Structures are given as structure tokens and as C-alpha cells.
Amino acid sequence: MNRIVAASRYLALIGVLFGLVATLAAFGWGGYKTVALVIHLVQGEMTGMAVALVQVMDAFLIAAGLLIFSLGLYELFVGHTELPEWLVIQDLDALKSKLAGIVVLVMAVSFLERLETHEDARDIFYTGIGVAVVSAAMIWLGASKRKT
């Protein structure tokens, strides 16, 4: 019975595999957005390029977050890999902390997109407050976990 329970950690490979598939799709999505952006720039379209550039960054940030998640799951449940020191995950809280950082960046990019589109000022204000509150909570929770 002990062997079966110990071997069940390999079930995490399902999450790793599909996480890598999602990572590949997200990097492909970012690449597609980049090529489309360059085509529009070559054609002389300049309207909305700042937002489009931020959206490209957003796609690659999401892809990076998915990759970090997949690598972290592998490190936690399956075995050690040769990763840069900053990417080595020792526990689930460290993985959550890294993902929280990516989420904060994606929220900030989304806020910048909304700011650039010149939507209703009140909507932008409330969105900014929401992003700030959620970001502060995530950063505070990550910092408090590291202190304990």
C-alpha cells in the first residue's frame, strides 16, 4: 500500500503535461499576436499600437506563468531538474508566490490596456482600485508566508 501511495505523486505528471501544452499554446498565441502586430505596423496602421504591444506582453506573461507552474509541479512532485536557482520550487507556498507575482503583472497590464483605451474615467478608477487592492493582498500574503 505504501508503494501505491508514494507512486501516486506521479499523477502530477498529468498537470505538468497539460500545463506544458497550455504553455505552448500561449507562446504560440503571443507569437501570432506579434506577427499580426508587425504586419499592421508595416501597413502603416499606428492607431492602437500601444495597446497592441501591451497585449503582446500580456500573452507572453501568461505563457511564462503557465511554464513556471508546470515546472514547479514537476519539481514538487516528480523530481529535481536543472533549473536556474530563482526558478527552483521547494514547496507549494513558493509556487503560489511565484504565480501570484505573474497574476499581479497580468492585472497591471490589463489595467494599462483599459487606461489606454480611454474608457469611462469612473470605470478606470474602480478598476485601478480593484487591481491595487488585489495586488496588495497577494503581495502581503506572499510576504507573510515567507516570514513564518
Element (H, E) at 9: none
31-71 pLDDT, tens digit each? 999 999 999 999 988 887 877 888 898 899 899 999 999 99
Q: Which domain holds residue 67?
A: 2-80+87-147
pLDDT digits (tens, 9 = 90+) for 108-139: 888 887 777 767 888 888 888 988 998 888 88
Amino acid 27: pLDDT: 97
Query: How many domains is the chain built from?
Result: 1
**Cα dist. 65→73, 100, 124, 130 in Å?**
12, 9, 26, 21
